Amino acid sequence: MVDLNKIYSDRAARYIPAGAHTYSKGADQFPVNAPSVIERGDGCYIWDANGNQYTDFAMSLGTVVLGHAYQPVLETVRTELNKGVNFVRPSIIEGELAELLCDIIPCAEMVKLAKHGSDVTTGAIKLARAYTGRERVVRCSADPFNSVHDWFIGSTVVDRGVPQAVKDLTLQFEYNNIDSLKCLFEQFPNEIACIIFEPISFIVPHDGFLQEVKDLCEEQGAILIFDEVVSGFRFALGGAQQYSGVTPHLAAFGKAMANGFSVSALAGSKEIMQLGGIEHESERVFLLSTTHGGETHSIAAAIKTINTIKEQNLIEHFWHVGKSLKLGILKAANNSELSNYVHVGGYDCKPAFALLNDKGEACMAMRTLFLQETIKRGLMMPYIVPCLAHTDEVIDHSLNIIEDVFSIIKTALDTGSIEKKIVGPIVKPVFRKFN
């Protein structure tokens, strides 16, 4: 039988470094039995080129919150496509999306659109530097990813190609440790332009921590930037800042705002945002100038997606899906006597789970076996992204698979044969020094 997956993936690998345009989609992130290419998706299901069907909980790295090929969004996009996709002057709906975002996001008085999360986090950094006249950036060590650009990548282990001078400008603080941030301000007085981090991710902030960060920023003359590329339209309609009640000076949004279509937004106070405009007398800031940032069909998809989340109160559904999965995974782990090896955490709308070794550390071998066996049974769950298409029936079916796989893992643990059960190489972390 012809293996179409291999044909397509081999072709891609010849012409694309790592065979994918996003490292988290690479072959090193999945066991060898994972589908190497995806041919199509519908709802919470995806199919590979060989016609194999999988229940999908990764949902395109968190971008697809309504479901693959969600027809109301596609119909809106088709209508907009018939009018043209990009023009020499701003389209009408660019203003409509900006107004919608300003209506629902607490910090948003002005908005600048782009295509990717990295565009807008880096745009926020530039604005903060321009506004404060300072150069140093402080990010949170707990954040797994903020941008593809040098200011962030230079602070990771994969820093090859980033000038040392750029690396030196990015500092790190510890989440929930306000003293670690105070120490940086003391060490670099009047040099820190901004603090950028995910306000809420997998770690629960201590009472008052986020407000303490904001107060410290304002005391020290720095800009507070929330990276809401992941948390936006998930914790609450207005993002984690609405959920937490702490309003930053600037915020970056992306991923979930257009159900998979490429659009992102930098939002913030008018006083800072207007520096990227042409209606002030001070020195200009060349903020974001993206030819494709004004693509009408992606903007139309964003408007439809956000309004669907709002009108159908889908935030509540996202929390329900995640809670059901978390409780179900914990129950399955307990039934399989794996409670000490399975960690389930995070907020219900953004669950996290990990497989641990005897020392309580993340175990890549056990993760590989879990992915191998769930994929073998038609479940794609490298991580969990709740979406509209995840019904209670889908959740129950998936949890039955997980319980079966946990039993296999338990047997392998008892016999010391975890690695012997794995076909092919063990999956690897994205951020590592060498291949």
Q: Are 221 and 272 in contact (CB under 8 A)?
A: no
- Mean predicted confidence (pLDDT) in 135-156: 97
The per-residue pLDDT for range 177-206, each reduced to its tens digit, is: 999 999 999 999 999 999 999 999 989 999
Specify the fold of 71-311. Aspartate Aminotransferase; domain 2 (3.40.640)
Q: What is d(CA 410, CA 151) in angstroms, rounded to the nearest whole number? A: 43
Size of the chain in residues: 435
Which range has the worst mean pLDDT, 18-32, 196-210, 304-318?
18-32
- Mean predicted confidence (pLDDT) in 331-343: 96
Q: What are phi and psi of 379, to 5 degrees?
A: -120, 125
**Is the predicted pLDDT of residue 167 greater than 90, yes or no?**
yes
- Looking at residue 178, its pLDDT comes to 98
Question: Each residue of 323-360: b (16+ CB within 10 Å) or e?
Answer: ebbbebbeebbeebebeebbbbebbbbbbbbbbbeeee
Q: What is d(CA 250, CA 364) in angstroms, rounded to the nearest whole number? A: 36
Query: What is the pairing mode between strands 223-228 and 192-197?
Result: parallel
What is the token pair recorded at 422?
Answer: 């794995």
Q: What is d(CA 48, CA 38) in angstroms, rounded to the nearest whole number? A: 4
Round the average pLDDT of the chain to a whole number and report it.
96
The per-residue pLDDT for range 237-280, each reduced to its tens digit, is: 999 999 999 999 999 999 999 999 999 999 999 999 999 999 88
Q: Are 332 and 403 in contact (CB under 8 A)?
A: yes
Q: What is d(CA 144, CA 139) in angstroms, rounded to the nearest whole number? A: 11
Q: How confident is the model at residue 370 (pLDDT cuts 50, 70, 90)?
A: very high
Query: What is the pairing mode between strands 53-56 and 40-42?
Result: unpaired
Domain ranges of the chain: 4-69+313-421, 71-311
Q: Which of 396, 390, 400, 398 is nearest to 44 (CA)?
A: 390
Q: How confident is the model at residue 281 (pLDDT cuts 50, 70, 90)?
A: confident
Q: How confident is the model at residue 1 (pLDDT cuts 50, 70, 90)?
A: confident
- Mean predicted confidence (pLDDT) in 108-134: 97
The per-residue pLDDT for range 96-109, each reduced to its tens digit, is: 999 999 999 999 99
Q: Are 173 and 182 in contact (CB under 8 A)?
A: no
Specify the fold of 4-69+313-421. Aspartate Aminotransferase, domain 1 (3.90.1150)
The per-residue pLDDT for range 45-80, each reduced to its tens digit, is: 999 999 999 999 999 999 999 999 999 999 999 999
What is the token pair recorded at 11?
Answer: 């072709």
- Looking at residue 206, its pLDDT comes to 97
The per-residue pLDDT for range 385-435, each reduced to its tens digit, is: 999 999 999 999 999 999 999 999 999 999 999 999 999 999 998 989 999
Q: What is d(CA 385, CA 275) in angstroms, rounded to the nearest whole number? A: 36
Share of the chain above pLDDT 90, in %: 93
